Amino acid sequence: MSLLVLVRHGQSVYNLENRFTGTVDIGLTPLGEEEAKQTGEKLKEYSFDRAYTSMLIRAQESLRIILEVITQTNIPVIKNAALNERMYGSLQGLNKEETTKKYGEAQVEIWRRSYAVSPPDGESLAATFARTVPYYKTEIEPKLRAGQNVLIVAHGNSLRSLMMYLENISPEAIAKVNMSTGVPRMYTLNTELKVLAVAYL
């Protein structure tokens, strides 16, 4: 049996400013740092064999804080772009409210929540799934199958992709799934990687 914990990074500066972030490398706010600390407090009773994160500083900093709180800074930490947030194209950096006024709420909602539709010059959730899930299967599943406990600190859309895979969520249903910053989602897996239990902590 093994544990897999998914954590979306703490609040970033662009989250606070209500901007599309995507692959822009934006740091955490003081609240984001506090959210990471609170995540660590929730995970104190668990032991991890390794941790994974993206190439973006908001996820890396969140992971660093969590590992400090749970006093497990000596475990291997693997950083890979496969876990990066989806690329929001020409929307990156734009204020979401202003973008909604310009393009209409329905269009912006499609760009944000649709599985197959990409934002202008950006990446769809389907494209995010196509890079995140194969990496997970190749790199992380063998560790879980061997009984290791794994912590992944990444982003809303890369983690939603993993949730789709782990929980058999349909492209239609994933549009209604949101992952809050700094709230751990824990999976208990057997040696065949069947999900025995899943819950937010």
Would you identify the CATH topology of the domain 2-200? Rossmann fold (3.40.50)
Q: How confident is the model at residue 193 (pLDDT cuts 50, 70, 90)?
A: very high
- Structural domain boundaries of the chain? 2-200
According to the model, what pLDDT value does residue 69 have?
Answer: 98
Query: What value does the mean pLDDT take over residues 108-119?
Result: 93
> Mind listing the pLDDT tens digit for each residue in 83-100?
999 999 999 999 999 999
CA distances from 13 to 9, 38, 184 (A): 12, 18, 20
Q: Write down the catalytic residue from 9, 35, 61, 123.
A: 9
**Catalytic annotation present for 85:** yes
**Catalytic annotation present for 9:** yes
> Mind listing the pLDDT tens digit for each residue in 26-79?
999 999 999 999 999 999 999 999 999 999 999 999 999 999 999 999 999 999
Q: Which percentage of the chain shows pLDDT scores above 90? A: 99
Query: What value does the mean pLDDT take over residues 135-150?
Result: 98
Neighbour-count burial of 180, counting CB atoms closer than 10 A to its CB (0-12 exposed, 13-18 middle, 19+ buried): exposed
Q: How confident is the model at residue 180 (pLDDT cuts 50, 70, 90)?
A: very high
pTM of the model: 0.96
Give the residue from 181, 132, 186 showing the smallest Cα distance to 21: 181
22 close to 124: Cβ distance less than 8 angstroms: no
According to the model, what pLDDT value does residue 155 have?
Answer: 98
Q: Write down the catalytic residue from 35, 61, 85, 123.
A: 85
Quick one: tokens of 66?
A: 């969590």
According to the model, what pLDDT value does residue 140 have?
Answer: 98
According to the model, what pLDDT value does residue 77 have?
Answer: 98
**Coil, strand or helix: which one is 116?**
coil
CA distances from 143 to 152, 170, 173 (A): 13, 26, 29
d(CA 169, CA 177): 9
According to the model, what pLDDT value does residue 57 have?
Answer: 98
According to the model, what pLDDT value does residue 76 have?
Answer: 98
